[in-house]
A and B are shown apart, each in its own frame.
Chain A
Amino acid sequence: MQSLRPNGRKSISYAKYGYLFILPFFIVYVFFMIYPLINTFRLSFFGNGNANADTFVGLQNFKYILVGGSRPAKAIHEEFIRSLKNTVILWVGNFIPQIILSLLLAVWFTDSRVKVKGTGFFKVVMYMPNIITATSVCGLFLILFGNSKYGAVNAMLLDMGTIAEPFKFVNTVTSSRVIVMFIQTWMWFGNTMILLMSGIMGIDLSLFEAASIDGASSGQVFFKITLPLLKPIFLYVLITSMIGGLQMFDIPYLFHEGSGASAIQTHLETAAVFVYKHFHLIDPNYGYSAAASVLLFFITGILGLLVYRFNTSSDDRAAAKSNKKKSKHAGLL
């Protein structure tokens, strides 16, 4: 390039302004994301309780959480395993109904033959629960399903004579889990539906036309055209939902009566709640919290990779490889 300019003047580089413009973001990112992230790893090697927050303990926290040992270690181990189990139960229980519902609605709303009227209205209404803060939603459900006879549902059932005693919706294992799953589904199906709809609308219309000309039934269209072509979006929804599910926090944390860290329901205590709970004790266990976060980070990463691998066929990967080779080759030329 320089040879084109005989007077030797270098071209003006505008790149540095670009860097300047994005600098604020990176400063904020380093302070609020990178540093805490690294510090979490660091903290996971340090002791618990205020007195030992600065004592290096090596891998002890991980050992206690994963293996157990003496009474406190065993208790923390059991608590962590229980919290993982709760996380999986709550996630599966809200993901399956959520994806079925969203897929069904997305297909209906985009189908040119069904022509649902007022899709805009329905989209807004169905997305609405996602706009309300989790705290308000949880407060609402706590009022509806309150443990005592003053809870709305209990009052109704008592009035109708269906039950003789108030049912403890909040404290009973099954009912509280089902309610939390329902809340999660209800809050997120609109969001998933919109994602899937955008995926379906991205599919070439001529494929649907060709299918209907060939006389395909709507079932065939769905399974042979919509689903396979929806896979990338589907994969995205699955992975983001899984990550969100592993971090599920607000509703399980809030859905209890009474106050104090111990009042959080043991059968609703997800991994993220575990982390928060131990972080906010009077004598905070930073070590356990940090170690659990690190574990959760790896679990999320591994699961993400696995799902990604299972859902991309070996052909795709081979194609990707050869693409890479090709481009390398091209680069050399």
Chain B
Amino acid sequence: MKNFKKKIALLAALACAGTMLAGCNSDDTTSDDASADATTAAADNSGAAEETTTMNAEEQAAANEAAAVELADDGDKLTILCWTGADLDNMIPLFCEEKGYSADQVTWVQVGTSGGEAREQYQQYLAGDEDADILILEADWILGYLNDQYTVPLSSLGIDASAYSEAYPYTVAIGTDENGILRGASWQAAAGGYVYRTDLAEQYLGVTSPEQMQEKIGDWDKFQEAAKTVSEASGGKTAMTATLGGMWQVYQANRTQPWVKDNKLVLDNAENFLDIAKTFRDNKYETGVTQWSDAWFAVGQDDSTMGYFFSTWCLAKGAQLEQAEGGEGGATYGKYNICVGPSNYFWGGSWLAPSAKCDNKTMAADFINFFTTNKDTMQKYAEKSGDFVNNKAAMQAIVDAGSNSNALLGGQDQFAVLIDAAAGINMDGLITAYDSSIKDSFNNAVTKYVDGEYATKEDALNGFQDDVATKYPDLNWD
């Protein structure tokens, strides 16, 4: 009997082990077929993006026209999938008010709490029966969704590509699929700048205006020089920038090639950045905190950092800058100013794409037009929310009127600073479906290199490539 019990116990134990296998398997059936086509299509995108630019406007218009899909128009509610409900809470009331819809005709569904989660969970959501008319997508992984499986061309809603003549060109490039068909449009232009402490800048660099600051940090050499001055003047107490991750976001804007070209990983300027990162870490020109962590916000209030690299959406009320200032009445509230910084760059942004399941054609078209093609309504939204909208004319009008004053920046108008930077962003042929994964690997390799876990730059580059190799074994690795 005793032995029998033992055997039962062993069996039970092995059964437990068995269940371990089960856990690994929960959602493959929902997502493998679905995403298979998505990434195959996206895989050879780098070439396709170039193709897009070579197509002339007429051909493109014709291709867009031909790709249009017939959509139903009998849905009861316009449903938007997103991971940033707060944005939509700002957008929907304005849309309903202006267009005469009642508030309960438009709704949003929060799928995941971050872009990464949304990327994963959209597939599962869309595999189900629930309604989805518009998807909100992020630049890093948008290509996986710009195909017939998930989205329809904007022309299906009667929105012509020519409607985006006033949009910032890079947003149109990102919203275009590998066949040159426009499937998504961004309502934001997420240009970024260097947001710095005015009091510290005056104390350590002797600058009194954003223009003077821009002079001091206009390119990477100057930026490093300024970092050295600040560090020496403050006795090593104040770093130039909060994180290397933020710096990389800016630095990668200098890339001239996509991450994956001809099915091969392209390092481009990655190696140079490792040098810069090491210099910044070793000399304490950066604080060493982790991007988006609590400590990352804390360094904004205790003189640990001169500034952050912030994109437009970080500067809205309640967003990252306000948190870094400690909120209203915080230690450094309103003590920041913005200038362009060493490079033009963009960070994030949200694209609206009509879902393949869209059954509210008219309303979806209204919504997308309202936020991406109509200058007047976009301007209204920008004025209301502080978002940098994706329309040159609207932004120019706001800047010309001089009406925008951001309390977080001590009353400065961030639009005036970023309007040129936004126009200067060029992402033609630089976006691939691999971007978010590869960036993730690279940022990690940088962290390990500056922390000393990788002894040499070669180790770091090797480790980075190994990490990408395990993620994408099918790239050409010879």
Q: Is the interface of A mostly helix, strand, loop or mixed?
A: helix
The reply on B125 being an interface residue by CB < 8 A is: no
Min distance, Cβ A295 to any Cβ of chain B, angstroms: 11
Contacts between the two chains (Cβ within 8 Å), count: 211
A-B contact pairs, 9 of them (CB 8 A): A50-B38, A148-B290, A260-B444, A281-B471, A284-B28, A285-B471, A286-B32, A301-B17, A308-B6
**Residues A71 and B469 in contact, CB atoms below 8 Å apart:** yes
Which residues does chain B contribute within 8 Å of A312, judged by CB atoms? 6
Known: A52-B474, A260-B440, A282-B437. A232 touches B5 (CB 8 A): yes
Residue with the greatest number of chain A CB neighbours at <10 A, chosen from B10, B24, B39, B477: B24
Which partner residue on chain A sits nearest B24 by CB separation? Answer: A293
**Residues A40 and B3 in contact, CB atoms below 8 Å apart:** no
Which partner residue on chain B sits nearest A53 by CB separation? Answer: B32
**Residues A71 and B31 in contact, CB atoms below 8 Å apart:** no
Cβ contact of B288, chosen from A74, A75, A148, A284, cutoff 8 A: A148
Give the complex CA separation of A208 and B190 in angstroms.
Answer: 76
Min distance, Cβ B376 to any Cβ of chain A, angstroms: 38
The reply on A89 being an interface residue by CB < 8 A is: no
8 Å CB interface, B68-126 against A = 114, 116, 119-120
Stretch at the interface among B248-256, B291-299, B308-316: B291-299
Stretch at the interface among A30-38, A103-111, A216-224: A30-38
**Residues B19 and A79 in contact, CB atoms below 8 Å apart:** no
Which residues does chain B contribute within 8 Å of A243, judged by CB atoms? 13-14, 16-17, 20
Which residues does chain B contribute within 8 Å of A239, judged by CB atoms? 9-10, 13
Q: Mark A69-104, 1 if CB is under 8 A from B, else 0.
A: 011111110110000000000000000000000000
**Residues B14 and A301 in contact, CB atoms below 8 Å apart:** yes
**Residues A300 and B469 in contact, CB atoms below 8 Å apart:** no
**Residues A36 and B21 in contact, CB atoms below 8 Å apart:** yes
Which residues does chain B contribute within 8 Å of A246, judged by CB atoms? 17
Give the complex CA separation of A297 and B22 in angstroms.
Answer: 11
Known: A50-B36, A51-B36, A71-B466. A261 touches B474 (CB 8 A): no
**Residues A261 and B440 in contact, CB atoms below 8 Å apart:** yes
Which residues does chain B contribute within 8 Å of A308, judged by CB atoms? 6, 10
The reply on A240 being an interface residue by CB < 8 A is: yes
Cβ contact of A72, chosen from B23, B36, B144, B470, cutoff 8 A: B470
**Residues B24 and A40 in contact, CB atoms below 8 Å apart:** yes
Which residues does chain B contribute within 8 Å of A185, judged by CB atoms? none
Give the complex CA separation of A143 and B114 in angstroms.
Answer: 21
Known: A75-B466, A75-B470. A262 touches B22 (CB 8 A): no
